Structure 1
């Protein structure tokens, strides 16, 4: 690729990113069904054809916004890889809550399944779950291949994380640090329950988690 081609690619990616940032704000304030492509183009200050060029249709635009939003969540979890286990877990959970707090529309869409029961949004959510569960398993046990009981228990804990987070966003009754502490403590209890059923997955000492 020559320099002019590289510049063109960089500009195209930057423009796509700008459109995603605009869409994130639009969908945060307005429901999916209430926004037409004409509305989106008018808010973005571009021709409607440009949005079709990058995303093909409104659904493609919506999915691109969700995928871009949750990508930051996974990156945060991976960025804690070199920290001690307890600190990594705390940072991962805190990063998750920060993401949910600052990207509430995308978070709700991912957790609740998007527009109706959207299989592609569910697939995005499941991918995020898998990456975050793998990060926790690697932190605690140094492995990502989980026995069935460990996987089931962690999925149960993560489902509770989603429920607690949605309620916290709705009510705003608790500081983020309190919610984080509750979720981390719940993880510690889950890990100790896993050890009872699967000794090959020992739980950390209580003082550690």
Structure 2
């Protein structure tokens, strides 16, 4: 097989894998992990069951790949708008986070709550996304990802609140997303002001529009 043929085969494999993940995200959005068998998944994907095993080794491997794909989308969406001023970028990061949660509720709940039972691998993925989101907020607020421990702890506390508020909001969506976003932005502003008091080398950025 020449290089061109190898590239074509690899690209087709990547497309097929991505299609299977997209199917899985839809399935697990409406059905619990335990309620879906590999036969069910293969039927919905219109493929032979062996193809799913080929790409993902097992149902659990398939599920973890779906979680990782969801996490990647969440982080990419939240970390966008790098061309904006810092304060506005933080604002957009929070809005992107809520938008993802609103339109991918099952995936969001899986990421935040840790998946099926006490799933250590999903919890590890969740911890990675938390650290990435904290780094994204730090970059927007301070222009750097690495910040002192006390500042990181404060942002971690704020993020825990964000997760709790978002989960509750998804169950009671009487409030508009804009309202929830502004609440979280103001809570972050208070957190950043507190960080500045304890860690002067991390000054709170000026509000957007100033």
Common fold: TM-score over 0.5 = yes
Displacement, 1:206? 4.8
The 1:103–1:207 alpha-carbon spacing in structure 2 relative to 1, beyond 3 Å, is closer
Point out where structure 2 has 5 or more consecutive residues left out of the alignment. Answer: none
SS in 1 for 2:182: helix
Q: Partners of 1:58 and 1:193 in 2: how far apart?
A: 45
Q: Partners of 2:38 and 2:208 in 1: how far apart?
A: 54
The answer on 1:66 being equivalent to 2:33 is no
TM-score by length of 2: 0.95
Point out where structure 1 has 5 or more consecutive residues left out of the alignment. Answer: none
Displacement, 1:51? 0.4
- Contact 2:151 / 2:195 at 8 angstroms: preserved in 1? yes
Q: Partners of 1:96 and 1:207 in 2: how far apart?
A: 18
TM-score by length of 1: 0.95
Displacement, 1:145? 2.0
Q: Which residue of 2 aligns with 1:8?
A: 9
CA RMSD after TM alignment:
1.4
The answer on 1:152 being equivalent to 2:160 is no
List aligned pairs for 1:1-209, cutoff 5 A.
Answer: 2-206=3-207
How many equivalent pairs are there? 209
SS in 1 for 2:35: coil
- Contact 2:75 / 2:133 at 8 angstroms: preserved in 1? yes
Q: Partners of 1:208 and 1:150 in 2: how far apart?
A: 24
